[in-house]
Structure 1
């Protein structure tokens, strides 16, 4: 039997480490904490029941007390619930999430989380128009080189390929392509 060791960087341990920071952070307003609680209540499967969510959203209790009680409650429930809490904080208070003490202590080789802004920069910062322009240039050059090949012109296979490619387009573009093929057939 293999013993199971609890990771030092489990979500429960991270939540314990971040509790004081979360309670003292002025960026966590009533509205943001309510959004976090609602997300925990609405996620499937539910982390917080309706009754628990009402308890933690009660305006009779001070915000910091509710937040402290919520953290303790989630730690008792388990690891998945603590993970969902971090996901909710990231979705609703990204600035707070980025400055959590446990995130600063994490070794990047153990838990690597990329923000949406960093992911966009990694993939491509130019956007979809740049991609379409590059694709159009590449497709145009390929078509030009294929169509200007003397072996292809004599066999007429380029016209067949060009004619069949019209099938995938809309009615208006298809008519233009077919009329172009008819014009080139009459000129030969």
Structure 2
């Protein structure tokens, strides 16, 4: 894939017209490519692109054309150098803006249409299930209270209390059993 090459072709017109890329910044980019990646930009080529007799926009245009001819790796390293030395220009490139807009959820919210298993039921189905659950809980609670008089719940509640409170609850539960 030639992602960076295609981006550089698209961004070339913007880079040539951008006034923020002055002579000093273009020289920094050339030196970065020459020093770090001499296989991309040799000393002879760097000297040619740093010639101050040629206007900066022309030198930049020739550099971009040269990098496009060198391939994907050269274009990627140019973007890396641009990001390192001229961050505000890098983030204002047309390809970066388009990429940012497609990834920014605030400008282009993506709708997730995912169907859940329970969503195809009517609300009355859920109310019915809830009513059955509440009815079973009430039935269980009142049937236990009639059989044991509530003594089982009071006896269990007494386990974590101090001695005096424990005795009162146990006495009450014994009283209810005798009746």
Category of TM-score, reference length = shorter chain:
0.5 to 0.7
Equivalent residue number for residue 43 of structure 2? 50
Runs of 4+ in 1 over 4 A off after TM superposition: none
Query: How far apart, in 1, do the equivalents of 2:42 and 2:64 lie?
Result: 15
Are residue 88 (structure 1) and residue 81 (structure 2) matched? yes
Alignment partner for residue 22 of structure 1, among 15, 18, 27?
Answer: 15
Q: Which residue of 1 aligns with 2:140?
A: none
Match of 1:40 among 13, 33, 37: 33
Shift of 1:53: 0.2
- Take 2:5 and 2:27, find their aligned partners in 1: how far apart are those partners? 21
- State the alpha-carbon separation in 2 of the partners of residues 108 and 51 from structure 1: 41
Alpha-carbon offset, residue 47 of structure 1: 1.6
- Cα deviation 1:90-125 (Å, max 9, x = unaligned): 11100000100010122449xxxxxxxxxxxxxxxx
RMSD, matched Cα: 1.6
Rg bigger for which structure?
Answer: 2
Which of the residues 65, 68, 71 maps onto 1:72?
A: 65
Rounded Cα–Cα distance in structure 1 between residues aligned with 2:103 and 2:83: 18
Structure 2: stretches of 5+ with no match in the other structure: 105-179
| CA deviation string 1:39-84 (max 9, x = no partner) | 0001145320000000000011111111111001001101000000
Report the number of matched residues: 102
Q: C-alpha distance in 2, partners of 1:25/1:45? A: 26
1:99 matched residue in structure 2: 92
- Output the CA distance in 2 between the equivalents of 1:59 and 1:45: 21
Give the TM-score, by structure 2 length. Answer: 0.54
- TM-score normalised by structure 1 residue count: 0.52
Distance 2:103 2:69 in 1: 27
